[in-house]
Amino acid sequence: MDPTVRRGAVLVLHDITDLRRADQIRRDFVANISHELRTPLTAVKGYVEALLDGGVTEATTVHFLETIARQTTRMERLVTDLLRLARLDAGQEPLEGVPCSVASIFDAVTTDLAPIAGQRRQQIIPDVAPDTGTVAGDPAKLFDIFRNLLENAIKHTPEGGSIILRSRRDADHLLLMVEDEGPGIPESDVPRVFERFYQVDKARTRSSRDAGGTGLGLSIVKHLVELHGGSVAAANRPEGGARFTVALPGRLPQSVT
């Protein structure tokens, strides 16, 4: 051995914090899916077994069947949302770029959800600035974005409350906002509200599930907005309630045809 040659070792350190967090998110995601499917399945199984045993009145039978229908719809929505997120993750959601009227989008989602808001005696108020005009985007996906946001606002606004659909322009973006009169979002939870199945608090999550939510709507919103080259943010209103702001650019990404 040449005495002038020095031997040594190189220690390479890797920060695995992000890897551990990603693995924890995957585990939580699977656990949440299992829970969200098991709960309605258990209810359906119990009611079916009761019907098979017989001895229930006609009124009770109708109640059981209505519950079964409601729970199966809940599972169907969950599976549909999961499949859509999978397509978004894989980049398999094509985007059509055409001029879309903001007022027409707001009107369409309001018409779609007016029966639900009406049951809760809620008022949906449009506040579209005169210079709003149109936005370049995919009409169906823009509808889905604001339907999810409006549905979320309806769930968390008390009976008799108001929800505002607002639009404004700044130098570079069109800002579209959905404002509710709900309990707001704890500040520590604001950065995570767009995560899949993230639970802001038990009461808020429970009301969302009872109203037919899947816990995936806001995550889908984030994916669809980013597909348009925009961003979405949640914040608390000074007067109470939450505000979700979608910022869309004047032009779509170059990859969109």
In a domain, 193, yes or no: yes
Q: What pairing do the DSSP bridges indicate for beta strands 162-169 and 123-128?
A: parallel
> Are residue 165 and residue 200 in the same domain, yes or no?
yes
State how far the alpha carbon of 111 is from the alpha carbons of 43, 101, 123, 124, 170, in Å.
Answer: 32, 15, 12, 10, 28
> Are residue 220 and residue 155 in the same domain, yes or no?
yes
In a domain, 117, yes or no: yes
Mean pLDDT confidence for 229-247: 95
Question: Both ends of the chain: CA-CA distance in Å?
Answer: 66
In a domain, 4, yes or no: no
Under the banding of pLDDT at 50, 70 and 90, the label for residue 97 is confident
Q: For residue 94, what pLDDT is reported?
A: 87
> Are residue 117 and residue 231 in the same domain, yes or no?
yes
Picking from 64, 89, 114, the residue at the C-terminal end of a domain is 89
In a domain, 3, yes or no: no
156 vs 17, more confident: 156
> Are residue 190 and residue 147 in the same domain, yes or no?
yes
* CB-neighbour burial class of residue 24 (10 A; exposed 0-12, middle 13-18, buried 19+): exposed
65 vs 36, more confident: 65
| Residue range(s) defining the domain that contains residue 26 | 17-89
Does position 66 have pLDDT exceeding 50, yes or no?
yes
In a domain, 11, yes or no: no
Can you give the CATH number for the domain in which 80 is found?
A: 1.10.287.130
Q: What is the pLDDT of residues 98-109, one digit of tens each?
A: 899 999 999 999
> Are residue 124 and residue 185 in the same domain, yes or no?
yes
> Are residue 139 and residue 120 in the same domain, yes or no?
yes
Q: What is the pLDDT of residues 123-140, one digit of tens each?
A: 999 999 988 888 989 999
- Collapsing DSSP states into helix, strand and coil, what is residue 243? strand
Q: For residue 80, what pLDDT is reported?
A: 86
Picking from 89, 111, 141, the residue at the C-terminal end of a domain is 89
In a domain, 174, yes or no: yes
> Are residue 119 and residue 139 in the same domain, yes or no?
yes
Q: Which residue has the tokens 């009872």?
A: 210
> Are residue 104 and residue 163 in the same domain, yes or no?
yes
> Are residue 115 and residue 164 in the same domain, yes or no?
yes
In a domain, 75, yes or no: yes
Does position 194 have pLDDT exceeding 50, yes or no?
yes
> Are residue 168 and residue 189 in the same domain, yes or no?
yes
Q: pTM value? A: 0.77
Q: For residue 198, what pLDDT is reported?
A: 76
The contacts of residue 32 (CB under 8 Å, 6+ apart) are: 196, 197, 215
Does position 111 have pLDDT exceeding 60, yes or no?
yes
Strand spans (E) along 152-239: 162-169, 173-179, 231-236
> Are residue 190 and residue 227 in the same domain, yes or no?
yes
Least confident of 169-173, 177-181, 213-217: 213-217
Inter-residue contact 244 to 178 (CB < 8 Å): yes
Mean pLDDT confidence for 101-119: 95
Structure-token pair, residue 128: 């579209």
Instruction: Tell me the pLDDT of the chain averaged across its residues.
Output: 85
> Are residue 40 and residue 157 in the same domain, yes or no?
no
Q: Indicate the helix (H) or strand (E) that contains 65.
A: helix 58-89
Q: For residue 64, what pLDDT is reported?
A: 93
Picking from 58, 89, 120, the residue at the C-terminal end of a domain is 89
Q: For residue 49, what pLDDT is reported?
A: 93
Can you give the CATH number for the domain in which 209 is found?
A: 3.30.565.10
Count of structural domains within the chain: 2
In a domain, 10, yes or no: no
Q: For residue 91, what pLDDT is reported?
A: 86
Q: Indicate the helix (H) or strand (E) that contains 98.
A: strand 98-101
Structure-token pair, residue 107: 């009107």
Q: For residue 203, what pLDDT is reported?
A: 45
The contacts of residue 240 (CB under 8 Å, 6+ apart) are: 181, 184
**How much of the chain exceeds pLDDT 90, in percent?**
52
